[in-house]
Amino acid sequence: MHLRATLAFAALATLASGCATTRAPEAVEFAVPPQIVIQQAVGHAASLVGEAEVLVEGERFAASSTGLVAAAYAAGGLRLQPGVIGGTPAPKEIWALMAGRGRGVDLAAVAAGDVLFFDNTFDANGNGVRDDLLTQVGLVESVSIDGTISFFYYAQGSVSEAVVTPTEPSRRLDPTIGAELNTVLRLRADGGPRLAGQLLVGAARPLGAMPNAGGSAAMASVD
For the segment 51-87, what is each residue's pLDDT rounded down to a tens digit? Answer: 999 999 999 999 999 999 999 999 998 887 554 445 5
Indicate which CATH number applies to the domain containing 117. 3.90.1720.10
Examine residue 42 and state whether it is found in any structural domain, yes or no: yes
Q: What is the mean pLDDT of residues 149-170?
A: 97
Distance CA 68, CA 52 (A): 11
Total domains in the chain come to 1
- Residue 16 DSSP one-character state: T
Report whether pLDDT(207) > 80: yes
User: With pLDDT > 70 as the criterion, what percentage of the chain qualifies?
Assistant: 74
Examine residue 78 and state whether it is found in any structural domain, yes or no: yes
Q: Which residue type sits at 86?
A: G
State the pLDDT confidence band at 99, using cuts at 50, 70 and 90: low
Examine residue 140 and state whether it is found in any structural domain, yes or no: yes
Examine residue 105 and state whether it is found in any structural domain, yes or no: yes
Distance CA 172, CA 58 (A): 37
When the pLDDT of each residue in the chain is averaged and rounded to a whole number, the result is 79
For the segment 119-144, what is each residue's pLDDT rounded down to a tens digit? Answer: 989 888 889 889 889 999 999 999 99
Report whether pLDDT(1) > 90: no
- The angle subtended at Cα 174 by Cα 169 and Cα 175, nearest 5°, is 115
| Residue, of 193 and 6, whose pLDDT is higher | 193
Least reliable range by pLDDT among 14-18, 102-106, 128-132: 14-18
Examine residue 222 and state whether it is found in any structural domain, yes or no: no
| Domain carrying residue 134 | 5-19+31-209
210 by Cβ neighbours in 10 Å (0-12 / 13-18 / 19+) ranks as middle
| Residue, of 3 and 163, whose pLDDT is higher | 163
Distance CA 4, CA 189 (A): 25
What's the pLDDT score for residue 210? 81
Examine residue 90 and state whether it is found in any structural domain, yes or no: yes
User: With pLDDT > 90 as the criterion, what percentage of the chain qualifies?
Assistant: 51
What's the pLDDT score for residue 105? 83
Q: What is the pTM of this model?
A: 0.80
What's the pLDDT score for residue 222? 38
